[in-house]
Amino acid sequence: MSRPDLLLRLAELRVKNPALRLHALVDGLLYQECQQDAPLLGEPGTMAVLAGTIDDHLFDAGPWVIDYELVPPPLRTAVLCAEKSMPTAVTWIIAPLDIEALAEMLRARIDVSLPDGQTAMLRFWDPRTLAIIGRDLDASQRHEFFGEIVEWHFALDGRHVHIARRHADAH
């Protein structure tokens, strides 16, 4: 099982940048609810974003980066099934980063400072939050947040949406 639309888009983008990779960003808690027979822990091509952070105790329930080309076919199928049954459980990232570099980049974006000085966890792996981020950040914030991500794809209100690098660069 695969996402032909994303694989086609990846192939198109690789014409200009062969280093691009397709990653799934999976909400660990939602994934566990619908895919208990295909655990992420210990699988090649998977990395818990919260591992090694102050929220390490939540690593299994937090976001997981999955290198779609490195994981075994049964795990690919499980991720796609999770996306189909719970669209907010999976987003897709196309970037020229390996799994470790992407996880590190995402770790740096989890905690945000609130105006009152408190720190909050920014649940950017949830498509509803990601859409607000793409819409409401100013140009420099958007550019900084998306970093080296070329495109971020997700389902929102029954439609397929993506935020492209050019959107961050154009504002």
Q: First-to-last CA distance in the chain?
A: 37
d(CA 164, CA 146): 9
State yes or no: pLDDT of 126 exceeds 90.
yes
- Mean pLDDT computed over 97-117: 94
* Domain membership flag for residue 111: yes
Confidence of residue 2 (pLDDT cuts 50, 70, 90): low
* Domain membership flag for residue 16: yes
* Domain membership flag for residue 139: yes
* Domain membership flag for residue 114: yes
pLDDT of residue 170: 38
Number of structural domains in the chain: 1
* Domain membership flag for residue 99: yes
Boundaries of domain holding 31: 4-166
* Domain membership flag for residue 68: yes
For the chain, give the secondary structure using H, E and C: CCCHHHHHHHHHHHCCCCCCEEEEEEEHHHHHHHCCCCCCCCCCCEEECCCCCCCHHHCCCCEEEEECCCCCHHHHHHHHHHHHHCHHHEEEEEECCCHHHHHHHHHCCCEEECCCCCEEECCCCCHHHHHHHHHHCCHHHHHHHHCCCCEEEEEECCEEEEEEHHHHHHC
d(CA 83, CA 4): 14
pLDDT of residue 62: 92
Partner residues linked to 153 by β-bridges: 92, 162
* Domain membership flag for residue 20: yes
Confidence of residue 166 (pLDDT cuts 50, 70, 90): low
Lowest mean pLDDT among 107-116, 139-148, 149-158: 139-148
pTM: 0.90
* Domain membership flag for residue 134: yes
Summarised one tens digit per residue, pLDDT across range 4-39 is 899 999 999 999 999 999 999 999 999 988 876 788
